Structure formats: C-alpha cells, structure tokens
Amino acid sequence: MTRLYLALHTPRVIYTARVNQAFYTTDLLAQVKYDGGSGTLADVLPGMTVYIGSSAGAYDRGFCRVRKTPTSNTLYIGETSEIAWADNLYLTVVDEFRPWQKAARISDGVIYMDYDVAYSDQHLYPDPVVVMGGQRAAWLTNGSAVFNVSAAGSWVPGGGSVYSYLWSVAPEAGASISNTGVAAPTVTITQAGTYRLGCRVMSLNGRIHTGYRYIFVFDANHPPVENFSLEACVGEVDSGGWQFSGQIKGLPTLLPGGLTVLFDESNTVRASGYLAAETLTLDPEQDAVNFEARGLHWQLAQMPNFPTGIEQSVGTPANWTEMQSLTVDKAAWHLLHWRSNLTQIADYISNGDARLAASLEAPAGSLWAQLAAYAESILAAPVCDHNQAVRVQIPLNLTPVANRSGITTVQTVTAAQRAKTLKAEHRRLAQAAQVDLSGVSVDAANQGAAYFALANGRVPKRVGSLDRRERLLLGAQTQANELAGLLLARANNPVGEFTLELAEGQGLGFDIAPLQYGQVDLPGLYSGKFAVLGVEVHYNPHSGALSVTLRAEAETGVEQAVDGDAPPPDPETGVAAADHNLPEPFKFPPLPAFPPLPLPPLPTSGQPRYAILFTDNYGLWWTDKFSEASPRWKSLNANFTQAELANLLYLTCNRGGRFYCGNTKRIWSWSIGEAPRLLAGEEFFNPLNSSYVIWGLAANPYASDSVAALVSTSGDRSAVKIFTGGIGGLQPKGVLDGAMWGSAGISYAGGKWLITYPGTILVNFYSARWSLDGNTREFIGQGGAGGLLPNLYANPNAGHIAAGRFGGDVVFLPYIGTSRNSKLAANGETETYIAALNFDACIAADPTGTYIMAAYGNTPKRSNDGGVTWGNISNNAWWGGANGWVKQDTFIWATAAYEDPSYRAAAIRYTEDFGATWSDKTGDLLSYMPGENILARKIIVFD
C-alpha cells in the first residue's frame, strides 16, 4: 500500500515588466516592447512562459513563449495572434517550459523557423537531442533528497557524438550537483521547493542544446497535494500516451496547462502531464475541482501545424526542407525541434531505424498527426511513456523476431498475481487472408528500388480480409517479405487482446514505451510473452492499494511470405511502374512546396522591410530594403503613362500586401513582386457614365482582395455609387445621398465602409457608414450647424485620413486652409474637435488616435493625448511642409515630404520613437528623379 501525491507546478516569477507600445494589430505578433522591467533579465530563457495580464502576475490575456533572448526593451515571443494586446499590460516571465509549436514563416519566398531563424546549416550539423529523463518528485528524507540523473542517452541526429554536458539547477540555494560536467551526476536537494534542472549538451561539431525538467521536493511544511482522489490513470499505445484525472477537494487555483506530476510514497513518478481540463463542483459542503492532465501526445495533437516535408538531399542541404541521409528519426527530430519545443522539455529517444527516405511528407494537421504520418512509413507510431519521453516505436509484434532479444521482460505474471477471471477471444479463424506489401528502398544518393511482397503468397487464406500496405520504407526484398509475414502473423494472432487485472503492487513496472515484454501462463489459451498495449493504474485512497490493469496482446512471430508482383507496365509507354532492376534511378514525386501563407507577413514593430510611395511626376516607387541604412528604391511605373503617373491620387493596401492605386479615371492593383495592372478604367466605367470621376478608393485590409471605390454614375459628381469587388472586377452598389462637391474620403473600419464627403454644395458634408458589400447605408450624419455632427466643418475637403495604416478607432479630417481640425469615430457617428491649428493634409495617428503627427504650415507637430495638446517635433529640418505624409505603425512613423520649399527633392524619413530621432531613408530615390517638383506623397511601410 502506498499514498499518492500530486505536484502542481506553480512557476517561480523570473522577470516582470509592462507593455510599452500601442498596437495597430494583435495579429502575428512576434515581439513586444516593454518597460518597467524588474528581475534579472539574464535569467529569462528562451522557451519560458510569459503571462500577459491586466494586473500584476495575471494571465487573463493569455500566455506566450519567450522566443529568444530579450533585449533591454523588447521581449521576443513565439508568433501569436491570440492575445488582446494593449499598452501597459503586465508581462510576467515565469520559470516554466510548456509545450508550444513553433510557427514556420515564409517571407519573400524565404522560409523561417520560429519566426526569424533562417536556414544556414541546421540540417547539416543538427543540434544534439538532450535525453535527461522526465520530471522528478520526492520528499525530503533526513533533510535531503538525492536524485541520480543521467543524460548519457543524449544523441545527435544523423550520427555524431556528444562532446560535453553541463548541468545546472535553479534556484541554486538548497541544491547542489556533484559534478556539473559529467553525463550522470547526483543532484542533492536540501530544501523543499521546485527546482529547474538544466542539462546543456554539446555535440562534437559544436552544436548545443539545453533541456529542462523540474524537480519537486516536499517536506511536512511544504506538502504536495494530498487531498485528492485519482479517478483514472491510463496509458494507451493507441492514443500515444498517458493521461490521468481526479478530484481535488476545495477550490485550488490551477494553472491552465500547468505541469502536473503524480507520484507515490516511494518518490516514484507514476505519470506526468499538463492540465488539460478542469471542472468545478460548487457545493456548500465540499467544493471540488475535477482535473485532467494529459501527456505530450495529447498536447501535440492539439497543435495545428503547416504541412511539413523533408526531402533527402544528395549534397549539402540548402534549406529547411532538405536533409542528407533522411530517416524517420531525423525528420521527426526536425518536427520536434524546429516546429515545436518538445526537445527542450522532454526526451526524444531515437529508434535507430536506418531506412532512408527520398522524402517524408505530412499534410497540414496537428504536430502529433504529422509525426504519426512520418512514423507510418516504417510501420511505427509515436508514443510517450508515463514521464513524457517520446519515441517513434515499431510495435513489438512488427519488430523482426531476431531484433527482439534485447527487449526486457518486465514481469512474469503468476496466477497468484492476477485476478481470477480473465476473458479473451480465442480466434479459430484467420482475420487476414493476405498481406500485400510494397515499398521502396533508397540510398543516400536517392537511387532506389521498389519491392513487393505477399504473405503468405498469391493465394489468400480461406477466410479473412486483404491487407494492403504501400509506400513503406524498406531495406531489401527480404525485409519486405519479413514485414509482410509479421503483419499477417499479428493480424492472425490466435489470442485476441486480453486484459490482465493484477493484484496490488504487481505490474507497476509496465509502461507503453519502450517496448517491453510481460509473460503469462493462461491455461488453454496462451502461455508465453505478451506485448503491452495499455496500462491502467488504480488507486483506492481508503485502502491505499495501488494496482494495475494491463491491456495486452500475445506475442506473434512471422508467417511465410514470397516476393510480390510489380504492377504491369504502363500500356502507353511500356515502362514498368516499378522494377527490381530499375533502368533509371527511382524518381519520387517532387516535394510539394511549403504552402503559401494565407497572406504575407503583417507589419510588426521594428524596422519594416518594405515601403511604397508615390510622388507627383515620378509615379510609384517601392523598396524591399527599407530597413537598411540606404534603401535601394525600385520603380513600379512600367505599366503607366506619364499622364497617369502625374495624376495619381490614391494609394491603399491590405494587410496581405495587395495594393491598389488610382487617379480620377483608373484603378490599378498588384501584389508585392508584381507589376501594377489595370483593375478598372474607361472600358469598364464609360458604358455607365462617360463623364465619370473616381472620388475615393479604399481597401478592406482583412480580405485578400477587396476594394471599394466611389464613382459618379451621372455627370462628374452626381449619383456617386459605391463600387466593390477586387481584381476580378467591380460591381456598382448603393448610391450616396447628395452629390460630390469636393474631395471625399473612404476607409474600412470594423467591417464597414466609412465615407465622408461634401454632399451639399460648399456648405456641409456627410459622414456615412455603409455595409461591407456596399448595398446598405447604415448611418448618415450631416456636419455643421443643425447637423448630427455640428462641430465638423470639413467642407470642401471632406476627405479623411484613417488612423493606423489599415484603419483604426478614428479618422481625421484636416480642414485645410483654416484653423479647424477634427476627428471622427470610425463608425462615423461621433466627432471631436481637436485643434485650432491649420493642419495640412499630412496628418497621421496610431490606430487609437492617441499619438498624432501632423504638419502645421512648415512646422511638424505631434500630440500624445489624442490632439488635446500639441508640441513641436524638434528635429524638423527635413520637413518640407504641406503635403508631406506620415504613416504610422505604433511608434514607427515614416514620412515622405519634399526637402525644401522649392520642391527640389523628395525626402523619406523614419522614426521609431515618435519623432525624437529620425533616420534618412531616401536612399537612392533621388537618383531616379533628376528634375524638380518632386512631391513625395503618401508612403506606406510594412514588414
């Protein structure tokens, strides 16, 4: 009899800080600015968990993973879209490593792992895999708890040796390591607490990787959770791992997804996992929390991943999709190391299978499903043991008989050690009539052959199903035959799966991995070894009895098999689909390319990579080197006439990098890397109204291709309709009230179109909100005295500028030529008068409208309180004055203006600190603009 305990991980706080930036988007965030840091920054380790909360220490906004070492003001996190970020949120980095996926990112055709890790030689010289055991828990006995730890099983994918070990434990107080530089030291803990055990392993080629596990130590004053009942503790090969559940008395606060360890009085870990579900029972007499902890198999099965594929390269692998001497082990390592952080938090134990693959691929799905897809090619499956060591394991009965000699027999179960009643199917008829197996063998040079095998032969058994296995990795014909024979023997096991209910204390050494034998004598049914398919641990808290029930299958051997038949030759070409003596090297289908992301990467804080602008007279220009000190600009003008370039009015884009520009007659569109092409012009509009004028143009930033234009359908300013559509064409929709008596503005906000325009001749303007499809007007308010929006006097310039690059909470209506500027809620319904300053059209703000930059005559101004107060931007030598533009991204602002009042030169400037300092991004732009009257207009920067 024994007692069971739960160790619930309550992570130690490592570092705290607060978010120090505004957010124009919460999508695809990979780093966050912070201030007010407290703690030792050097203690923040990649992989640690970050709580994001609205109060100190809280995680009500969610969790992130530290992606890489932070700087003094930037925390790099695993790319995320699930956090509702806001300035001044609380960041708490805690001493916890939970399972995470690492997203692959494609930018400009380049694949990055974990957001920004470009391929160099990571597949040529792989990081070592740290195998250091699982989580540990113990009671102090006579003032200490001693752990014999070992990382001797660490290995290097593809071969190579481990060169050195470096163990660490944190916190150091109360803990010591006998020798930090050996494979198997002793760790001694003398104070109750939670300790992080680290083991850094270096390979001979100098690559290092560090694994982390936790040691929970308790004493009478710091006990583990005892007041709980264990409802189930089960490990199943089919599901791939262990899970356990129970009920804790009271209402303890459980950390969502937190590490949980189930251990017994002898300090043996019975299972570990991460909290996956929680049910509260509110009862005035006895509150309780029901919990479920599940292993990494379940955690990884919940993590979606992009399609993955690795191709065997003959030469040096040149990118993330290539590996030399590709095995399932190596492909699985890539998945567990570069697509997730599993190799940091758990053991991945090589199965040593040397069969090579020309390619291994898995479609989009969970990380676990992709691992299973890799494993399937060698008839294996991924399995986590009770303490989360991961293996790609070939079932015992599919392991060649000659290779089973090293498998340990855990226990011979005697009649006195099992319950008296046992039921099992005694199969008298064959279940499988024939196994038809095929696969390929390749060498490191991708030369290969196909093999076919039939068990028992070409004539099926009298009864049973036909079992076809294809696309396996094989070593030789003999292996194909043996596998076919193993499959047939297993399918026709004369004993069905059986359940062994064991007496108290028996069978506690069984696990679902690694492969292991039990032995049993079942008179009349079976006598011999069995393989473990499932282990269920029962605990009776009243009796203290800890017992095990096994799900098992009797060991099978191999049935006879023969060489199979290759498919007949192609009737048209006469070429054999596969031949044992292939005249040509075996060709594999090309590895599918990484799928395109739904949209290219979105802008994030930091130096943006791209910028696009248009100028008077010199048209459209862009650069993909905006982050460099002297960007090189490229023209987008090939498809434009000189007249079109001189009259461009509109430039807008969506978050996916699709651009739209236009003048009063034509609209063009293109994506990054393409040349602009005409979306709509006279050919489309003239049949509706030959006098048409395009009065406004805006993109839906959230759609891959959705744009709205305002176009008059009668004369040049009457019956202005909203046209919506994309590169496939535009459709006329609703008609605006009134007419168009000056410039208009249209922008996207909250799934609607906001349109401001002077609808009454030189008197007032309208603020109108229309549905996204352009069919329904949902609101209209008239500005000026007596109108719904009496403070707005934007006439005749009723065009507006949306806060944020893609729209935000407000829009601004600079009242050019007078001292009256205002802002309008993005829904168009409420207005705010912001300043009696004669702002030019160059005004921009962060998405909330709090931080604003504007030009006031020749003076650049800024406000950090939404326009209530204004100050000069001191470094203003570059600012040319009216019609310069600033476009903002939180604290990133880029301007395009002219350098001096004579309009001689365009100037591009960039700031990350709200105008305190500026960098010159003009680069070589002026070298393409030899003349004068260079008026740089709108600029958009993005990443």
Partner 1 sequence: MNDFQIGTSQAGMVTLKSLGLVEPLSEYQAYSQAIDTADGAQQGEGWPLASWRWAFITLGARYSLKTYCPGRSALVYIRTLDDTKTAIDARAIVIWPEKETRSASKVLEFTLQFRILEILEPLE
Neighbouring C-alpha atoms within 13 Å toward the C-beta of 595: 13
Tell me which DSSP letter residue 426 carries: B
Site string for partner 1, 293-312 (x = CB under 8 A): --------------------
Instruction: Work out the angle at residue 473's Cα, subtended by the Cα atoms of residues 381 and 485, and round it to the nearest 5 degrees.
Output: 80
CA distances from 428 to 421, 433, 522, 688, 795 (A): 21, 13, 17, 81, 92
Tell me the C-alpha distance between 457 and 460, whole Å.
Answer: 7
Segment near partner 1 (CB under 8 A); pick from 10-18, 325-333, 416-424, 739-747: 416-424
Tell me which DSSP letter residue 602 carries: P
**At 928, phi and psi to the nearest 5?**
-95, 0
503 in contact with partner 1 (CB under 8 A): yes
Among 321, 366, 547, 895, binds partner 1 (CB under 8 A): 547
Give the residue with the Cβ less far from partner 1, 265 or 924.
Answer: 265
Beta bridge partners of 151: none
545 in contact with partner 1 (CB under 8 A): yes
Give the residue with the Cβ less far from partner 1, 66 or 520.
Answer: 520
Tell me the C-alpha distance between 759 and 914, whole Å.
Answer: 36
250 in contact with partner 1 (CB under 8 A): no
Give the residue with the Cβ less far from partner 1, 422 or 445.
Answer: 422
With H, G, I as helix, E, B as strand and everything else as coil, classify residue 42. Answer: helix
> Minimum CB separation from partner 1 for residue 407, in Å?
25
364 in contact with partner 1 (CB under 8 A): no
> How many angstroms separate the most distant Cα atoms in the chain?
105
> Minimum CB separation from partner 1 for residue 509, in Å?
18
Segment near partner 1 (CB under 8 A); pick from 242-250, 414-422, 491-499, 528-536: 414-422
> Minimum CB separation from partner 1 for residue 3, in Å?
9
Segment near partner 1 (CB under 8 A); pick from 251-259, 399-407, 418-426, 477-485: 418-426
**At 131, phi and psi to the nearest 5?**
-115, 100
Among 142, 206, 542, 574, binds partner 1 (CB under 8 A): 542
Report how many residues bind partner 1 under the rule CB under 8 A. Answer: 19
> Minimum CB separation from partner 1 for residue 540, in Å?
6
Which helix or strand (DSSP H or E) is residue 301 part of? helix 296-301
Give the residue with the Cβ less far from partner 1, 418 or 938.
Answer: 418
Give the residue with the Cβ less far from partner 1, 173 or 416.
Answer: 416
Tell me the C-alpha distance between 462 and 896, whole Å.
Answer: 83
Contact between residue 446 and residue 312 where contact means Cβ atoms under 8 Å apart: yes
Give the residue with the Cβ less far from partner 1, 546 or 636.
Answer: 546
Among 504, 536, 563, 579, binds partner 1 (CB under 8 A): 504
Which helix or strand (DSSP H or E) is residue 334 part of? helix 328-338
- Retrieve residue 589's tokens: 């289908």
Among 74, 176, 205, 417, binds partner 1 (CB under 8 A): 417
Which helix or strand (DSSP H or E) is residue 748 part of? strand 745-749
Contact between residue 560 and residue 434 where contact means Cβ atoms under 8 Å apart: no
Give the residue with the Cβ less far from partner 1, 415 or 675.
Answer: 415
Give the residue with the Cβ less far from partner 1, 462 or 542.
Answer: 542
Among 36, 250, 400, 544, binds partner 1 (CB under 8 A): 544
420 in contact with partner 1 (CB under 8 A): yes
Look at strands 650-653 and 390-393 and give their pairing: unpaired
Give the residue with the Cβ less far from partner 1, 424 or 905.
Answer: 424
> Minimum CB separation from partner 1 for residue 142, in Å?
16
Tell me the C-alpha distance between 829 and 825, whole Å.
Answer: 6
Give the residue with the Cβ less far from partner 1, 544 or 567.
Answer: 544
CA distances from 454 to 403, 442, 488 (A): 22, 21, 10
What strands, in cross-sheet order, belong to the sheet with 104-107?
A: 104-107, 110-113, 117-118
> Minimum CB separation from partner 1 for residue 544, in Å?
4
Contact between residue 34 and residue 91 where contact means Cβ atoms under 8 Å apart: yes
Tell me the C-alpha distance between 300 and 315, whole Å.
Answer: 32
The contacts of residue 638 (CB under 8 Å, 6+ apart) are 675
Q: Exposed/middle/buried for 855, CB within 10 Å: 0-12, 13-18, 19+?
A: buried
Give the residue with the Cβ less far from partner 1, 1 or 675.
Answer: 1
With H, G, I as helix, E, B as strand and everything else as coil, classify residue 870. Answer: coil
Which residue in the block uniquely carries the two structure tokens 């009500």?
60
Among 232, 415, 577, 593, binds partner 1 (CB under 8 A): 415
Tell me the C-alpha distance between 851 and 913, whole Å.
Answer: 11
> Minimum CB separation from partner 1 for residue 244, in Å?
20
Give the residue with the Cβ less far from partner 1, 509 or 595.
Answer: 509
Enumerate residues 599-638 that contact partner 1 by CB under 8 A. Answer: none
**At 925, phi and psi to the nearest 5?**
-55, -45
Give the residue with the Cβ less far from partner 1, 3 or 404.
Answer: 3
DSSP 649-699: -EEEE-TTSEEEEE-SS-EEEEETTSPPEEEE-HHHHTTT-TT--EEEEEE
418 in contact with partner 1 (CB under 8 A): yes
Give the residue with the Cβ less far from partner 1, 116 or 501.
Answer: 501
902 in contact with partner 1 (CB under 8 A): no
Among 279, 540, 858, 874, binds partner 1 (CB under 8 A): 540
Segment near partner 1 (CB under 8 A); pick from 324-332, 411-419, 432-440, 902-910: 411-419
Segment near partner 1 (CB under 8 A); pick from 125-133, 268-276, 420-428, 779-787: 420-428
Amino acid making up residue 926: L
Segment near partner 1 (CB under 8 A); pick from 298-306, 389-397, 398-406, 419-427: 419-427
CA distances from 848 to 29, 397, 788, 864 (A): 18, 63, 23, 11
Look at strands 885-889 and 650-653 and give their pairing: unpaired
762 in contact with partner 1 (CB under 8 A): no
> Minimum CB separation from partner 1 for residue 237, in Å?
25
525 in contact with partner 1 (CB under 8 A): no
Closest CA to 131 of 65, 210, 192: 210
Among 173, 220, 402, 416, binds partner 1 (CB under 8 A): 416
Enumerate residues 256-295 that contact partner 1 by CB under 8 A. Answer: none
Which helix or strand (DSSP H or E) is residue 706 part of? none
Give the residue with the Cβ less far from partner 1, 229 or 447.
Answer: 229
**At 266, phi and psi to the nearest 5?**
-90, 15
- Retrieve residue 449's tokens: 């052959």
> Minimum CB separation from partner 1 for residue 505, in Å?
8
Residue 109, number of CB atoms within 10 A of its CB: 9
422 in contact with partner 1 (CB under 8 A): yes
Give the residue with the Cβ less far from partner 1, 1 or 476.
Answer: 1
> Minimum CB separation from partner 1 for residue 500, in Å?
10
> Minimum CB separation from partner 1 for residue 5, in Å?
15
1 in contact with partner 1 (CB under 8 A): yes
Site string for partner 1, 482-501 (x = CB under 8 A): -------------------x
Among 543, 639, 641, 919, binds partner 1 (CB under 8 A): 543
Give the residue with the Cβ less far from partner 1, 369 or 545.
Answer: 545
**At 338, phi and psi to the nearest 5?**
-105, -20
> Minimum CB separation from partner 1 for residue 518, in Å?
14
| Site residues, partner 1 (CB under 8 A) | 1, 414-422, 501, 503-504, 540, 542-545, 547
